[in-house]
Amino acid sequence: MQTPSLSSLALFLDIDGTLLEIAETPRSVAVDPALKDLLGALHSRTQGAVALVSGRRIAEMDALFRPLTLSAAGLHGFERRGASGTHQHRRAPSTRALEGARRAMLDLANRHSGLLVEDKRFALALHYRLAPDLQELVASTMTQIAERTRPEFELQMGKMVAELRPAGATKGAAVAQFMSEAPFSGRRPVYVGDDLTDESAFEWVNGVGGLSIAVNVPGATAAQQRLPSVAAVRMWLADLLSDPYKSKS
């Protein structure tokens, strides 16, 4: 893996599966002090050009990484907080669409052990990590639910999860917005992620001459480079700090 110059970069980092190992449930993760220190140092060295881009809500990200507060995009780009602290979000889906989808997903989860519905207020996720044999059932049922909630929701498949996200919200669009603002503008974007939800960001970054890195993705991806694990991501980020003036890519 080549190491670019940190002083010229804007870093966009997914969380689960990229900075943190994926846990059995979303609430069972914890952020260790070493990771907070690493991200804090990167934030300082880049003059603030570091953002977390996740399917989690921004409030949840803040709770995980407290006292560190970074620029962030949550719910796959539905909500965003820039370096100035200003919050923005896309048009919210209707209460009717949310309630209908929530009832259908809870009904499925109540009938099958191992399924977990994660309510993100403006998005809904159905996790089947504890019941991997239900993958086909989850995919087919969530496809039907998504069809009933169009055009307000779109179905987003991920690693052992099927999610309804507000239509038009993508991580790629969130990165594009960040790159139009200080301190990100004028820098080379680097996006690191591990899942199908990150592909739109890979594609956008590639299109503007940035660097896209997939983590533990054995199959096809738009990412230019790959890292094998969360540990490898942390080592690569630490290497950026070790010599911020090197430029090999």
| pLDDT over 70 at 245, yes or no | no
Q: How confident is the model at residue 244 (pLDDT cuts 50, 70, 90)?
A: very low
| Band of residue 249 on the pLDDT scale cut at 50, 70, 90 | very low
More confident residue, 247 or 146: 146
pLDDT in tens, 79-104: 999 999 999 888 888 888 889 999 99
The closest of 100, 164, 108 to 137, measured between CA atoms, is 108
Q: What is the pLDDT of residues 148-176, one digit of tens each?
A: 988 889 898 888 889 998 888 899 999 99
Domains in the chain, CATH or no CATH each: 6-89+169-242 (3.40.50.1000), 95-166 (3.30.70.1020)
pTM for this predicted structure: 0.85
Interatomic CA distance for residues 234 and 71, integer angstroms:
19
Q: Please tell me which residue in 14, 194, 195, 198 is annotated as part of the active site.
A: 14
Please report the pLDDT score of residue 56 as a whole number: 93
Q: What does the pLDDT look like over 191-240, one tens digit per residue?
A: 999 988 899 999 999 999 999 999 999 889 999 999 999 999 999 999 99
Q: What average pLDDT does the structure give for the chain?
A: 91
Active site residue 133: no
Mean pLDDT to the nearest integer, 23-45: 92
**Range 120-123, long-range pairs (CB < 8 A, 24+ positions):** 120/55, 120/56, 120/57, 120/75, 121/57, 122/75, 122/78, 122/79, 122/89, 122/92, 122/93, 122/98, 122/166, 123/55, 123/75, 123/76, 123/78, 123/163, 123/164, 123/165, 123/166
